[in-house]
Amino acid sequence: MVPDEAQIIKRAQSGESAAFGELYEAYFVRIFRYLAFKVGRREDAEDLAQAVFIKALESIGTYQSREVPFSSWLFRIAHNQMVDLFRRRNRRPEISLNEEIPLADDCADPHEELEIKLQNEALLAEVKKLSAAQREVIALRFAAEMPIAEVARAMNRSEGAIKALQHSAVASLRRRLGGQV
């Protein structure tokens, strides 16, 4: 949550471009990383991030804070854009929040040292083996840096259930990776 977010949203809704710019700055990186983690390709993640913010700009006038937190609203747009992308490509006609989707392979820093890169690949390979719900928690908590309460809302589960999924996902990775990390 951005400080004074409600005020910034109101200003953006009244057409103040600087206010929308503040929201963009607050959320762009988180949205982009979430999408990169989910779709697996930098170019796709950039195209989708662009579509997300265009959609947000078009629809911000209809956003109502009492219904859902702004971040959940924005990540819902991101999810819908991703579903549309997969539909257009006929790769996956239907995707729910908990369905299996590929993980990011294409956003590693090219200057990374080989050893680190291999370690990252091993970790990502293990993340892919987690359950769909555990992966979604990893996407929202670690890539999108969303608070527990908002993840719970986005996944329609209790906060306790999200904390349990987060713990079990990381514990599972620890068991599988042993001393590699």
Q: Which residues bind other proteins (CB under 8 A)?
A: 15-18, 20-21, 24-25, 28-29, 32-33, 36-37, 42, 45-46, 49-50, 53-54, 57, 104, 107, 109, 120, 123-124, 127, 138-139, 141-143, 145, 148, 160, 163-164, 166-167, 170-171, 173-174, 177, 181
Which residue's CB is nearer to other proteins, number 66 or number 88?
88
Nearest residue (CB) to other proteins, 7 versus 50: 50
Looking at the Cβ atoms of 38 and 72, the one nearer to other proteins is 38
Helix (H, G, I), strand (E, B) or coil at 76: helix
Least spacing, CB of residue 94 vs other proteins, in Å = 25
* Chain Cα centroid distance, residue 136: 8
Q: How far is the CB of 76 from other proteins (least distance, A)?
A: 19
Cα–Cα distance, 81 to 169 (Å, whole number): 26
* Closest distance to other proteins from the beta carbon of 93 (Å): 25
Residue spans of alpha helices (H) in the chain: 5-13, 17-39, 42-59, 70-88, 114-128, 132-138, 148-155, 159-177
Closer to other proteins at the Cβ: 2 or 170?
A: 170
Pull the structure tokens for residue 57.
């700009």
Nearest to 98 by CA among 59, 63, 134: 134
CB 98 within 8 A of CB 155: yes
Report, in Å, the least distance between residue 162 CB and other proteins: 9
Of 93 and 110, the one with the shorter C-beta distance to other proteins is 110
Give the separation between CA 78 and CA 80, rounded to whole angstroms.
5
Q: How far is the CB of 25 from other proteins (least distance, A)?
A: 8
